[in-house]
Chains A and B, each alone.
Chain A
């Protein structure tokens, strides 16, 4: 095989795997949008909050310690040394469920049947509030997140591929981050579980029913509010998974919440209401970005195309297929 071809394969593989990371974030948006028609602007902050909480639990930090110390002159900081990350993840999941319940209580319940734009504004508010609470609870310093997922280049793959290039050519093997492989495996498990769950269980059926028609769902006795808590908790869980992946890669800090912006082009490509759309949209964006960076960037000798190419793809899509690949086509009857 020629070095060019091997490089191409490497780029595509890396693109697919970083795409999975985008899909994970987009998935959280789709779930909430389907079930409650709300575009949850706070999804990125959810990921940040979950990652912060996870680190906090893991390292035994006392929540709100700065605030408490300031008010009462105490010197609280940690109440136990590090605990196993599995336990910390369980605590974080519980926190996200409680958070979903509080959001339903304080925000959604009061805004039922309001215009979508009002709900959207509410989630913007929610994003800022939650960000503030996260800072207040766990402090705003950059944190290292390590739940034991290995990261860094895979030596095994490098060694396995080094011989593929022709004799004498300068090829050092493929570079693939193990963390991305893990993210892919976890995402596949997550999506499969989600699909099976919504297809074969009573709650899954109720979920699909609510996504399809609120009025009809009410008439068969489905409690919209329970379902909302459920989907918000579920997107909280997905946000946590995304938060773990992104946080492991680049530390837990405010910029983590900006991954929500990366999910937007994914949603435009895949459609706001489709779970397979979120996956495939993420993959396309991931591959597109990486290919553009290497090949278009190389051609014109410009860098950082990766940063904006996703939005460019989204714009092109909006021109030709505004509902996305799998979104429902909007037909207004006149």
Chain B
């Protein structure tokens, strides 16, 4: 359903609205009444100190976690929770904080898994590997090759990704997400553990995806200079609560945000 619905949303209008999302595990409250919205085509950042509930927020958006209360309005339709499969089908792709790649598979195969949802041939045709099935495989292979070119992954096309260095693994993971041709891309700390050069590359990839492919980006990142550089809007979480939101220049001077980062108590 919603993939076409999403494509009908004009750029700059809300694509996801999160309303009063709360999430708790047993007695531990991970998120308390958090609300914000993401607009189509923007780069949206979620920031906050460690344990602020940023990753939980992403997991709610793509359906790994079911919120305890609150509503998610996605592409104009209100729902209580998302399902990972539904999210993927509706054009939401993501990367993970602790890289979740298929380690035994090559870079190419990892990227090809991103095309699974777009492959339509049935089991029988695939098993015979004839006619349409073969043509389809070639078609998706070409799409993947484009992502490989874009991210400079040519030289590691056939390498099992488990043996790649950390920075490259992050890039392959981004590649897999991009291979899905997503409408919304959720990035959980895409630049963690990278050196300056790698961070610059990664920022460039993210921005290009945003500008040229018009992908809406929601990212979590700790490097403030990167966040301020590339995001259009920012929401700040602390102890599972929203403590501020706005444009980068507003966040920079927001008192509550500065206090949270410096550990000043407001009691």
Contact = CB atoms under 8 A, between A and B. Distances in A.
Interface stretch (B111-119, B228-236, B245-253, B255-263): B111-119
B176 interface: yes
Contacts of A216: 96, 100-102, 176
Interface stretch (B10-18, B25-33, B120-128, B194-202): B120-128
Contacts of B85: 218, 221-223
A216 B162 CA distance: 14
Interface residues of B, number: 33
A78 interface: no
Contact of B89 (A202, A217, A221): A221
A267 B246 CA distance: 57
Contacts of A219: 62, 84, 88, 93-94, 96, 100, 177
A205 B117 contact: no
A204 B114 CA distance: 14
Interface in A88-144: none
Given A202-B116, A219-B88, A220-B180, A212 B104 contact: yes
A209 to B, nearest CB: 5
B123 A205 contact: no
B205 interface: no
A215 interface: yes
Nearest to B121: A202
B239 interface: no
A332 interface: no
A201 B119 CA distance: 10
Interface string B57-87: 0000010100000000000000000001101
B117 A213 contact: no
Contacts of B180: 220-221
B109 interface: yes
B84 A208 contact: no
A201 B126 contact: yes
A216 to B, nearest CB: 4
Contacts of B103: 212-213
A206 interface: yes
B226 interface: no
Contacts of A211: 104
The listed residue with most B CB atoms (<10 A of its CB), out of A197, A201, A222, is A201
B139 interface: no
Given A209-B113, A215-B96, A220-B113, A202 B102 contact: no
Interface in A215-249: 215-223
B118 to A, nearest CB: 9
B105 interface: yes
A221 B84 contact: yes
A215 B116 contact: no
Contact of A215 (B100, B104, B105, B127): B100
Contacts of A220: 88, 93, 113-114, 116-117, 176, 180
Interface string B129-155: 100010001000000000000000000
Contacts of B89: 221
B112 A205 contact: yes
Contacts of B109: 205, 208
B100 A202 contact: no
A203 interface: yes
A204 B121 CA distance: 13
A209 B88 contact: no
A140 to B, nearest CB: 36
Contact of A205 (B64, B96, B101, B116): B116
B100 A209 contact: no
Nearest to A218: B84
A200 interface: yes
A220 B102 CA distance: 11
Interface string A178-219: 000000000000000000010011111110110111011111
A165 to B, nearest CB: 47
A205 B113 CA distance: 7
A201 B264 CA distance: 56
A215 B127 CA distance: 26
Contacts of A203: 123, 126
Contacts of A221: 84-85, 87-89, 116-117, 180
Contact of A213 (B94, B100, B121): B100
Contact of A222 (B64, B96, B116, B133): B116
8 contacts: A200-B126, A202-B126, A209-B105, A209-B113, A209-B116, A219-B88, A220-B116, A220-B117
Given A213-B103, A218-B88, A219-B88, 9 more contacts: A200-B126, A205-B109, A208-B104, A212-B105, A215-B64, A215-B96, A219-B177, A220-B93, A220-B116
Q: Which 10 A-B pairs have the closest CB atoms?
A: A221-B88, A216-B100, A212-B102, A201-B126, A218-B84, A221-B117, A202-B119, A209-B113, A215-B100, A223-B85
Interface of B: 62, 64, 84-85, 87-89, 93-94, 96, 100-105, 109, 112-114, 116-117, 119, 121, 123, 126-127, 129, 133, 137, 176-177, 180
